[in-house]
Amino acid sequence: MRANVVRRKLIKPCTPTPKNLKNYKISCIDELAPSTNIGVLLFYPPKPGRIIQKLEESLQKILPQFYVLAGRYIKTNHSINCGDEGVEFVEAEAADDELPDIVGTSEQLNDLLPRRSYQMDGELDPLLSVQITDLKCGGLVIGVSVSHRIFDTCSLATFIAAWSNASSSSAENISTVIPSFDESTALFPGRHWSKVECSRMEGHGIVCRRFCFNKEAIDRLRSKLGPEDGKLKVSKVLVVSAVIAKALIGRSRDYYISHAVNMRGRTIPPMQKHACGNLVLQALSSCVAEVEMGTQELVNLMDEAIGKAISKCGQLSLGGATLKPVANALPEASTTAVWFSDWSKFGFCDIDFGQGKPVWVGIAPMHAQDTTILMGNRDGDGIEAWVHLTKDDMKLFET
């Protein structure tokens, strides 16, 4: 497909950022975040009227709350210059494409995004970019891309929820999402650490494929897995992760399996629901190449690692955090790791800008090797796994 850019501009906050907020020091976890943009694509069916102007105005309205996103990253001192340079707003048209032709695809989605995953960390690179693409059928695609340097997926979901609420005429909706930028740097002050270059960041020759696990498939897999010690049945995310990991770790080398664990609600006291930043711990499971592991063993291994990571979150206090749980939850740079991130609980399938809920939510492809993003399907009973591998590894994985 091909989307032609009609207009590209910078949108600034409707009110200037106060002087005392002009310099935002990123956290040490932000410093170690992968050099990539993350993002989603929201696909909406045809509706009468155009909402471009409303989207632009509502974006400008909420930017004072998300003032950091309108700034620029200063790599030399690991900070954001919050000088209201603006977020990128792109209007595009895909005059030859119908909604049914692109829903469910995992290829050729980059034209629906305002920028590629690797276009970040530069002095002039916007931290947030959005693209509104009109389709031939009258459908609409909203692509949102944000720098992983300052936002994790939960933060991205907070922003999109606030933006969609601001597009509504209801004042009650607008006040329900109030972001906070204090907890991240208070818990994990910057250390000017060197960024860890993991194997997932080697080059840009990564391909992304989407694999669907519907309710029936997940139930069949679950039926082969016995609950342990009277626990509830295995979660959809663990079932799918185990199947994917089993295929990936079949190579002749040792591996870590890593799951991103959201810290929000798990610290003492709990940080705010809409705390922004990279607030995740990595739950690491070690797999030895010589030891063949079945799906049940992998489920047990990952479940134990996630439980330990959640327990570590409880060691973090807003009154005086220790960096030890974070340091212990990072694999060595030379170690090969399979990375999983669960996006199924962030409410992307319910985002309504006045067009109703999206008919589908896609993932912005990343240059992140051996990374799998797990997204819930529209019905909420299945999982779509977006797997990022090298071309050669993808050929093997698909078999």
Q: Calculate helix-pair angle for 215-223, 236-248, nearest 10 degrees.
A: 80
Contact 251, 289 (CB under 8 A): yes
Count CA atoms within 13 Å of residue 139 on its CB side.
Answer: 23
Output b/e per residue, 330-359; b: 16+ Cβ within 10 A: bbeeeebbbbbbbbbebebbebbbebeebb
**274 noted as active-site residue:** no
Q: Helix or strand or coil: residue 185?
A: helix
Terminal CA-to-CA distance of the chain, rounded, Å?
Answer: 27
Q: Helix or strand or coil: residue 363?
A: strand
Distances (CA, A) of 31 to 35, 73, 82, 304: 10, 11, 17, 28
> Running DSSP on this structure, what letter comes out for residue 323?
S
Catalytic residue among 78, 148, 259, 367: 148
Catalytic residue among 101, 121, 352, 393: 352
Residue 56 CA to residue 120 CA, distance in Å, equals 22
**Cα–Cα–Cα angle for 31, 364, 79, nearest 5°?**
20
Q: Calculate helix-pair angle for 236-248, 391-398, nearest 10 degrees.
A: 110
Contact 340, 368 (CB under 8 A): no
* Positions marked active-site: 148, 352
